[in-house]
Every structure is written in C-alpha cells, then in structure tokens.
C-alpha cells in the first residue's frame, strides 16, 4: 500500500493476476502515489503482443513528471498516451500485424481535484457515501448498443460481443482520449479495473467489497473473489482513497 501524507492526502494499492484460464497476463498497472497518478491497462486479447502494449502504456505514463497545475498535468498525460499510440502503431507495422493495442483507465489528482482519462473498456468507479458510480464510459460495441437504446445495461454484461472494444491505444493513428474533471470529497474511494473483474463480479458486489474492505487489502480481495469464480480473463485492480486530515 502507498500513502501520501498532507492536509489532503491519498492512499492507494494495486494488484494484478493472470486469472484461472489465461497463460499470460496482458494487464499492467501503475500505483504512482508520488505523481498523483494511477492507471490500469489491458492489452487487447486476440491481438499480437497485448502484454507489450499494456506495459508500454504504463511505462510511458510512469515517466510523466509531477505538475503543480491540473491542466498542465493532463496535457502531459495526453502527450504521453499519444506517444505510446505512435509507438504501438509503429510496432504493429514492423511486425506486419493489424493491431498491437491496449485499453487505459487513469486517475490524475492534485489537491482535492482529479481528472479521469480513459480509452477502451477498462473502468473507473467511485464509491461515495456507500453509493457506487461508474465514472468512465466504455468504448465498446455493446455500450454503443446501450447508448442507442437497443440493449439494456444488464444484457450488455453477458452479450457475446461484450469484449469487442471500439477504441484503444495503438488501434488508430489518431488517438482519442476521453477526459472528465472530478471534485473529490472526503472519504471518496476510486477503483480502476480491467474488464476481467467486471466479467466475474456485478457492480453491486464490487460496491459491497469496496465499502467494507480496507484500501490496502481491496485489490487483492476483489481479485481473489474473481479467481474463486473462475477468472476467465486477467484481473487488475487499483484502489485509491482520498481523505482530509
């Protein structure tokens, strides 16, 4: 577990597991407390070198210097992700494959404000006063169907096309990153996860564990529960909590 002490401070922890079926872990994560930066990346299954893609995304983000101002920090992170996108596109061309790609979900914080950035279907949740909210919006085929009113959110979770994403780092020459500014309140808990978690646990079950398990033990508790249910995919979780002293 990581802890940063100040009048406004953050606590965080992360963990990853290849699950019960996959032979390789194509997920990666960043628990960058000193940067105020946390991220989860999920290499695209079924494509070449998904593990390379997720590691590259995390490594590039880890090089981002800490900033005093939120806007400047976000601009640097977007530049980092654009660089990762160019490098993955170049690697795919060199190998003669169509895509070497990865999702990314990131939380960047300064003081009592944060920015969420994401590409793909790795998710960002917030637990506030016992209520869980999904803050990111999946870039996936089934989410498009939900947005069009053609599919319910419940049906989307088990739809045959649930793992098909419409946006990824490395998928196109021009990367589109969604971003959202959030004001943070005392006691807020954030969860970043790959879809290996949400394939096995419902949002209600995730909320229940988030509400009762300490932050330092939360990633492992969620992963262990996913593994008990078969963990058909790699599972990665980063938990972050904001507190005032």
| Domain span including residue 188 | 2-132+167-244
Cα-only R_g, the chain: 17
Query: Would 101 be classed as within a structural domain?
Result: yes
Query: Would 188 be classed as within a structural domain?
Result: yes
**Residue 188, domain CATH:** 3.60.40.10
Task: Identify which of 146, 105, 145, 102 has the alpha carbon closest to the alpha carbon of residue 126.
Answer: 105
Question: How many domains, the chain?
Answer: 1
Query: Would 151 be classed as within a structural domain?
Result: no
Task: Identify which of 119, 238, 124 has the alpha carbon closest to the alpha carbon of residue 184.
Answer: 124
pLDDT at 131 over 50: yes
* Residue 108 bridge partners (DSSP): 37, 115
Residue 6 pLDDT class (50, 70, 90 cuts): very low
- The pair of structure tokens assigned to 190 is 């954030």
Query: Would 24 be classed as within a structural domain?
Result: yes
- The helices-and-strands tally (H runs, E runs) of the chain is 7, 11
Whether residue 190 contacts residue 183, with contact meaning beta carbons closer than 8 Å, is answered with: no
Query: Would 144 be classed as within a structural domain?
Result: no
pLDDT at 55 over 70: yes
pLDDT number for residue 5: 47
Q: pLDDT tens-digit profile of 71-118?
A: 999 999 999 999 999 999 999 999 999 999 999 999 999 988 899 999
pLDDT at 193 over 50: yes
63, 69, 102, 126, 180 from 135: Cα distances, Å: 25, 22, 19, 7, 8
Three-state DSSP class for 39?
Answer: strand
Query: Would 212 be classed as within a structural domain?
Result: yes
Whether residue 26 contacts residue 50, with contact meaning beta carbons closer than 8 Å, is answered with: yes
* Residue 113 bridge partners (DSSP): 110, 183
N residues, the chain: 245
pLDDT number for residue 144: 78
Q: pLDDT tens-digit profile of 60-76?
A: 999 998 888 899 999 99
Query: Would 64 be classed as within a structural domain?
Result: yes
The percent of residues above 90 in pLDDT, for the chain, comes to 78
CA 141 to chain centre: 18
Task: Identify which of 132, 238, 245 has the alpha carbon closest to the alpha carbon of residue 193.
Answer: 238
d(CA 162, CA 167): 14
Q: Is the pTM of this model over 0.85?
A: yes
Cβ neighbours of residue 76 closer than 8 Å, sequence gap 6 or more: 64, 65, 67
Residue 3 pLDDT class (50, 70, 90 cuts): low
Residue 7 pLDDT class (50, 70, 90 cuts): very low
Query: Would 55 be classed as within a structural domain?
Result: yes
Q: Which helix (H) or strand (E) holds 142?
A: helix 141-147
pLDDT at 4 over 90: no
- The pair of structure tokens assigned to 42 is 């999920």
pLDDT at 18 over 60: yes
pLDDT at 132 over 70: yes
């Amino acid at each position: 577990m990581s802890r940063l002490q100040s009048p406004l401070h953050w606590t965080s922890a992360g963990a990853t597991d290849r699950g019960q079926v996959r032979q390789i872990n194509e997920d990666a994560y960043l628990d960058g407390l000193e940067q105020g930066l946390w991220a989860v990346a999920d290499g695209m299954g079924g494509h070449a070198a998904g593990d390379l893609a997720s590691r590259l995304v995390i490594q590039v983000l880890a090089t981002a210097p800490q900033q005093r101002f939120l806007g400047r920090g976000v601009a640097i992170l977007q530049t980092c992700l654009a660089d990762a996108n160019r490098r993955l596109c170049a690697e795919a061309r060199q190998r003669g494959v169509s895509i070497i790609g990865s999702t990314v979900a990131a939380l960047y914080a300064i003081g009592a404000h944060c920015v969420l950035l994401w590409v793909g279907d790795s998710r960002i949740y917030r637990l506030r006063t016992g209520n869980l909210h999904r803050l990111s919006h999946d870039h996936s085929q089934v989410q498009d169907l939900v947005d069009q009113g053609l599919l319910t959110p419940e049906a989307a979770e088990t739809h045959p096309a649930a793992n098909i994403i419409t946006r990824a780092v490395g998928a196109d020459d021009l990367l589109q990153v969604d971003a959202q500014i959030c004001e943070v309140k005392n006691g807020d808990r954030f969860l970043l996860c790959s879809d290996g978690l949400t394939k096995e646990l419902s949002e209600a079950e995730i909320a229940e564990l988030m509400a009762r398990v300490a932050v330092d033990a939360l990633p492992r508790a969620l992963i262990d529960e996913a593994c008990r249910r078969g963990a058909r995919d790699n599972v990665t979780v980063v938990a972050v909590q904001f507190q005032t002293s």
